[in-house]
Structure 1
Amino acid sequence: MKLGPQAAAAALILSASLALTACGGGASGAANGNNASAPKTTTLTLGAVQEIRSWDPAQAHVGHFLQPYQAAYDSLLLREPDGKLSPMLATAWKYNAANTVLTVDLRTDVTFSDGAKFDAEAAKANLDHFKKANGPQMAQLTAVSDIKVVDADTVELNLSAPDPSLEFYLSQAAGLMGSPKVLGTEGIKTEPVGSGAYVMDKAATVKDSQSVFTARQDYWNKDIQKFQKITFKTLVDLTARTNALVSGQVDATLLDPKTGKQAEGAKMILAANEVDWQGLTLFDRDGTKNPGLKDVRVRQAINYAFDRKTILDQVLLGQGTPTSQPFGKTSGAWVEELENKYPYDPAKAKALLKEAGYETGLVLQVPSVPGFETQLAVIKQQLADVGVTLEVGSAITNTYTTDIAAQKFTTMYFSLFQGEPWVAINQIVSTKALYNPFKSTSPELQAKIDAVQGGGKDAAKLAQEVNKYVVEQAWFAPLFRVNQMYYHNSKINVTPQVQQAVPSIYNYSPAS
């Protein structure tokens, strides 16, 4: 089955998250005072979790995969650590009354590292290239029907329908700007050419080992150019990242609760936030393949069966927050009273199952997901305690997105990204969402989704109603939001980035 662009983008966002599902975290880090007399560092070396396969900006991914691109490429909008959008290459942007035309004013004093000028034609060339290049995040511009150059420093993005996430996307992969001289060429795949604060040192860069960047001398925004050199060391293996951090080979990297203990023993500093939630996604809400899941009382009973705090403590050493809702705390769609909507209550779970006619005999079949073996073992026992049998099948392979879209699974334990509300809706709730393969919906829910799409600046608040609906109807059984555990040494300061496992490159600075 071929995935649509919206589903494909959601899958790739979530697959990036899946690679780090065992991670956890704590609070923002700051340099300690022991290093006050040391010389101010001019270099930054980061332990990267994966090698970049193409430096074409249209091939950029999200989250921890976006960070290296930020060294070479400016984006149209800058996403601050708290999620606020600020000017970068765009100085101002405004929608029309119908939210179908976004007019973007651009800087006039920026050049690319090859000398090409950044202007409206360059912005249009990048946006057009992004739409056609079949990159992992191409769906970010699905709603954009065409890009019009208004004048030398103004472009109009015309939308086929409102997209409340478009401004967010312009701070992400879709907003990265490369030199129009090399877009689509073979050369940009191995050497980025952008207007960013750093340029690649080709001589020092080694494929599958490290990518090295040096400060660009004529960069327009010195405030975010905080180092003379940045190195991304490719360290896919978690143990290798831990050893590199503890031994001083890298200044910062992403770990997990267990390896975090080793890092803390070596006086490393934790800078972290909650990015994903883990739990069961109850796909088959219409009972197409598992009739029991059609009854909301059954789905609610599953939620009441879990002692979320105990599972979190056992599996992730307490690194996270128990929750009953799938929308993140920083999304704007989070609702405080939903946080403990389904407290641990096995007696209530049994009563609901009996009321629904499933006092015994309810079976949930889930695939085995690498990295979640311990979670599945614990929830299997807790479901058994209320009379539900969890059957764990064969392991998911790299075809899992196709398998989900083909309705192969009625239930699944997974780690899901808590992004901006419209992003999340189109990943897990709408009939376009990959993680709604049975196309569950209702007129009431669709009206709430439509309100979000046309809600403009009120979209996040309106998304609270979508959140309330799916929690009341128990579409999911979330267990907890997990902490992403990002550690660094005392040579640098690091500010976590909301909704990202690793900070944006702008969030690092030398410790004073």
Structure 2
Amino acid sequence: MRRLPVTIAAALTATIVLAGCSASTSPKDGDAAAGDGPEALNIGNFLDITSWDPALADIGFDGPYLSAVYDSLIALDADGKPVPSLATKWTVADDDLSIELDIRTDAKFSDGTAVDVDAVIASLEHLKEGARSSEAYTHVAGFSKVDDDTVEIELTERDDTILYLMGLGRSYVMSPSAIEADSLGKEPIGSGPYVLDSGTSVPGAEYHFTRAADHWDADTYDFAELSIYPIMDATARHNAMLSGQINVQYGDVANMAQAEEQGWNTASRVSGWAGLVITDHTGKKSEPLGKLEVRQALNYAFDGAAILAAVGSGAGVATNQVFPDGSEVNDPSLNETYAVNMDKAKKLLAEAGYADGFEISMPMSPVFEMWKPSAEQALAELGVKVTWDNMQMPDYQLNAPNYPMFISFLAMDGDPVATVSRQVTSVQWFNPEPDYAENEVLAPLVEKVQSARGDEQLDAIKELNAALVDQAWWSVWYQANNLYYSAPGIKVQPVVGMMFPTLRYITHG
């Protein structure tokens, strides 16, 4: 069966959220004592592992699986800032064309071999060529050994996103022999805090792990046992937690009251935005969308708060922005820019020369049916006549970007520079032909972001954010929350950019 792309999986997740035998090991010194929390961590994830090979894996829901068996060179803190892991520190050259990583010398792969500079370079080269992981290394010329504990990343140009993307899940280190044997997809060999127990695991149903001996960061990963269960059905996942099979789950807002009755801990944070993705801002595919007044009219036509309440049970925030709510770039005052006003929307449409509306074709898939009634009602009232082209979900990601406009749910990033790159400037499945450079307002602001540094860069991104809202680059309706339930004694720290956080963010507490 074809697996869900992470962005489409996110949309399906939004639909759900908003509408065996475990292998054991003896606890080490420093393990949670009785009363401090459970010794076994049993996770109810939403999706199965995409691939045990980090070069082929998605980031979204793969985090718990991959972070169990692999160490990353760089990790992220709760706010999306890069922090040390296997790389104890890094230095960016004054000319921004190289990065030196200092590699720790006390890590070992599960096959007993040492994690050394040669292994790190082999992993980085594998990731650079990966179908998915290569996104972090698009501006990398190569990797070289400086000395026995230092790797240099050589860049073709300045790259302000590489460290963030590496920390997000694109810098896992793998056994060189496993890379050469092309066996990582079936038998992951890393230096992570746990080792996959293939004998007791059932692919697609349950995965059990034994604790790695003498892991260099054992204090961070202090659960003596680990199991992960991919359970897509929200009811089944909730029942698994009620029965005690799992003690952490990707939650459903409909179960909030029962979660409180059970005394479970609750954690939530915005994860992605729902709305209309506009791929044609120049009018090449659909002449009306090339006019600012038309795009602004589309924004005024939708009541994001009402859609969030109806579809999302209020679990999120109504906003016009793609920068995460609560982040340093998101400006709450911009959320009222397009307060729903159908009269104003129709007036703008008339000013653009479309007093009688216009016709457009849009794709539709069962995954997005929950948003269709709201879209149909608003667009029909505005005078936009839509022909819906129905297709099954696996074809949606392939075909939707060929349309001038489509409904989607896109994952967000915690890093503001990465948000500019992924949402605006770089080629993505949902943005196959970025056209910001043809917009006389946005082009110079993007250039300003790409050339500035530090606080000046942050200020430039804030200016760009305001301009993106004003230019109605999308019709954003709301940002949806990811929700997690955990049993007493277990704490989950959500991270923007990860649909399910990696294991370092699931702790006793």
2-side partners of 1:494 and 1:131: how far apart?
31
Q: For 1:349-428, list aligned pairs within 5 A.
A: 349-405=345-401, 407=402, 409-419=403-413, 420-428=415-423
Residue equivalent to 2:26: none
2-side partners of 1:90 and 1:310: how far apart?
46
2:107 corresponds to which of 103, 107, 110: 110
Q: For 1:14-93, list aligned pairs within 5 A.
A: 14-22=7-15, 24=17, 38=35, 40-93=37-90
Query: TM-score, normalized by length of structure 2?
Result: 0.89
Deviates more, 1:184-193 or 1:320-329: 184-193
- Indicate conservation of the 8 Å contact 1:242/1:263, yes or no: no
- 1:304 is paired with a residue of what secondary structure? helix
Residue 268 of structure 1 and its aligned partner are, at CA, apart by 3.5
2-side partners of 1:509 and 1:439: how far apart?
40
Residue equivalent to 2:430: 435
Residue equivalent to 1:119: 116
- 1:385 is paired with a residue of what secondary structure? helix
Shift in alpha-carbon separation, 1:452–1:263, aligned structure 2, 3 A:
same
- Indicate conservation of the 8 Å contact 1:60/1:173, yes or no: no
Deviates more, 1:258-267 or 1:289-298: 258-267
Residue 436 of structure 1 and its aligned partner are, at CA, apart by 3.1
- Indicate conservation of the 8 Å contact 2:269/2:483, yes or no: yes
2-side partners of 1:390 and 1:266: how far apart?
46
- Indicate conservation of the 8 Å contact 2:289/2:295, yes or no: yes
1:502 aligned to 2:500? yes
* RMSD over equivalenced CA pairs, Å: 2.4
Residue 460 of structure 1 and its aligned partner are, at CA, apart by 4.3
- Indicate conservation of the 8 Å contact 1:272/1:483, yes or no: yes
Residue 415 of structure 1 and its aligned partner are, at CA, apart by 0.4
2-side partners of 1:190 and 1:18: how far apart?
28
- The one-letter amino acid paired with 1:14 is T
Alignment deviations for residues 426-475 of structure 1 (CA, whole Å, 9 cap, x no partner): 33322634433454232543333233334354544432233222211111
Shift in alpha-carbon separation, 1:61–1:76, aligned structure 2, 3 A:
same
Deviates more, 1:309-318 or 1:201-210: 201-210
Residue equivalent to 1:225: 221
- 1:51 is paired with a residue of what secondary structure? coil
Residue 354 of structure 1 and its aligned partner are, at CA, apart by 1.8
2-side partners of 1:12 and 1:56: how far apart?
16
- 1:121 is paired with a residue of what secondary structure? helix
Residue 267 of structure 1 and its aligned partner are, at CA, apart by 4.3
Shift in alpha-carbon separation, 1:12–1:157, aligned structure 2, 3 A:
farther
- The one-letter amino acid paired with 2:156 is S
2-side partners of 1:373 and 1:439: how far apart?
27
1:485 corresponds to which of 463, 483, 501: 483
Residue equivalent to 2:92: 95
Unaligned stretches of 5+ in structure 2? 19-32
Residue 230 of structure 1 and its aligned partner are, at CA, apart by 0.6
Shift in alpha-carbon separation, 1:138–1:228, aligned structure 2, 3 A:
same
- Indicate conservation of the 8 Å contact 1:178/1:193, yes or no: yes
Residue 263 of structure 1 and its aligned partner are, at CA, apart by 4.3
Aligned residue pairs: how many? Answer: 488
Shift in alpha-carbon separation, 1:210–1:24, aligned structure 2, 3 A:
closer
- 1:105 is paired with a residue of what secondary structure? strand
Unaligned stretches of 5+ in structure 1? 1-10, 26-35
Residue equivalent to 1:4: none
Alignment deviations for residues 283-308 of structure 1 (CA, whole Å, 9 cap, x no partner): 22222232211211111011111222
Alignment deviations for residues 264-283 of structure 1 (CA, whole Å, 9 cap, x no partner): 55443321110101011122
Shift in alpha-carbon separation, 1:89–1:284, aligned structure 2, 3 A:
same
Deviates more, 1:411-420 or 1:358-367: 358-367
- Indicate conservation of the 8 Å contact 1:278/1:479, yes or no: yes
Residue equivalent to 1:344: 340
- Indicate conservation of the 8 Å contact 1:55/1:188, yes or no: yes
1-side partners of 2:318 and 2:233: how far apart?
28
Residue equivalent to 1:7: none
1-side partners of 2:433 and 2:167: how far apart?
32
- Indicate conservation of the 8 Å contact 2:49/2:61, yes or no: no
Deviates more, 1:74-83 or 1:473-482: 74-83
Residue 13 of structure 1 and its aligned partner are, at CA, apart by 4.7
- 1:162 is paired with a residue of what secondary structure? coil
2:168 corresponds to which of 144, 161, 172: 172
2-side partners of 1:474 and 1:255: how far apart?
32
2-side partners of 1:213 and 1:256: how far apart?
26
Alignment deviations for residues 81-117 of structure 1 (CA, whole Å, 9 cap, x no partner): 2223221111111211222211111112222222211
Residue 224 of structure 1 and its aligned partner are, at CA, apart by 0.8
- The one-letter amino acid paired with 1:83 is G
Alignment deviations for residues 326-349 of structure 1 (CA, whole Å, 9 cap, x no partner): 222355442333222211112211
- 2:398 is paired with a residue of what secondary structure? helix
2-side partners of 1:431 and 1:169: how far apart?
14
Query: TM-score, normalized by length of structure 1?
Result: 0.88
2-side partners of 1:493 and 1:53: how far apart?
25
- 2:177 is paired with a residue of what secondary structure? coil
1:306 corresponds to which of 302, 305, 320: 302
1:283 corresponds to which of 279, 285, 304: 279
1-side partners of 2:180 and 2:234: how far apart?
34
Residue 216 of structure 1 and its aligned partner are, at CA, apart by 1.4
- Indicate conservation of the 8 Å contact 2:127/2:134, yes or no: yes
- Indicate conservation of the 8 Å contact 2:71/2:85, yes or no: yes
Residue equivalent to 2:25: none
- 1:475 is paired with a residue of what secondary structure? coil
- The one-letter amino acid paired with 1:324 is N
2-side partners of 1:162 and 1:461: how far apart?
19
Residue equivalent to 1:449: 446
- The one-letter amino acid paired with 2:424 is V
2:270 corresponds to which of 266, 269, 274: 274
Shift in alpha-carbon separation, 1:234–1:141, aligned structure 2, 3 A:
same
- Indicate conservation of the 8 Å contact 2:221/2:503, yes or no: no
- 1:183 is paired with a residue of what secondary structure? helix
- The one-letter amino acid paired with 1:306 is F
